[in-house]
Amino acid sequence: MRLFVALALPNDLVERLERMCSGLPGAVWVRPENFHVTMRFLGDVDAVQARDIDAALSAISAPCFELSLTGLGQFGDGRKTRAVWVGVQASPELSALQSRIERAVQTSGLAAESRKFHPHVTLARFSASPGSKLRTFFAQHALFRTMPFQVTQFDLYSSELGKGGPVYRREANYPLT
C-alpha cells in the first residue's frame, strides 16, 4: 500500500480552490476530491507496517485548531516548475501535530523524514514549463487567503496511481480533542 497522512479540507474551501484551477498551459490539475494538506508521506508499506502505523497514529492526542490557507507558491522555478500550490498559514498547533505524527511514524518503524515540513495544497503539476502564464496566474491570485477553518481530525490515506491520476482513499481517521 502507498500511504500518506493528511488533513482534509472543508467542501466550501475545495470549491473555492477548484475555481482557481485554470489558465496554465501544460498544467495537470489536481482533482478537487484530492485536495489536502499532506502531514507525512509514508510511501509503500506492507500490511504489517500499515497496522503498526495505524496503531501509532491512533495513540496521538492533540487538540483541535484553526487553520488558514494563504498565498501561492511553486516547486521548481523557471523552466523547471514542477508544481503550483496554495500555502498554509504558519500555525504552532499544525507544527505540533506534524511533530507528533512524525514521531508516531518513526516508532512504527519508518525512517525519519529528510525534508523540512512545508504545508501546502497542491493545485497543479507540470511536465513542461507553463511559461509566462505562470506570472499572470500568480498575479491574479496574489491576495488569496481563506477564513480560518476548524481542523478536527487527521486521516490516513492510500494512493493508487492510475492513468487518470492518483485515486486517494481514506483508510482511517483520527479525531482531535
Q: How far is residue 9's CA from residue 169's CA, in Å, rounded to a whole number? A: 14
Which domain CATH number covers 40? 3.90.1140.10
Greater pLDDT, 80 or 89: 89
Answer yes or no: pTM beyond 0.85.
yes
pLDDT of residue 78: 65
Residue 35 domain boundaries? 2-175
- Return contacts of 84-90, CB within 8 angstroms, 24+ apart: 84/24, 84/27, 84/122, 84/123, 84/124, 84/126, 84/134, 84/137, 85/120, 85/121, 85/122, 85/123, 86/17, 86/20, 86/120, 86/121, 86/123, 86/144, 87/119, 87/120, 88/37, 88/119, 88/120, 88/121
Respond yes or no: is residue 141 known to be catalytic. no
Question: Of 7, 17, 36, 121, which one is the catalytic site residue?
Answer: 36
Say which of 120, 130, 146, 159 is annotated catalytic.
120
Number of domains forming the structure of the chain: 1
| pLDDT tens digits for range 52-86 | 999 999 999 999 999 999 999 999 876 788 999 99
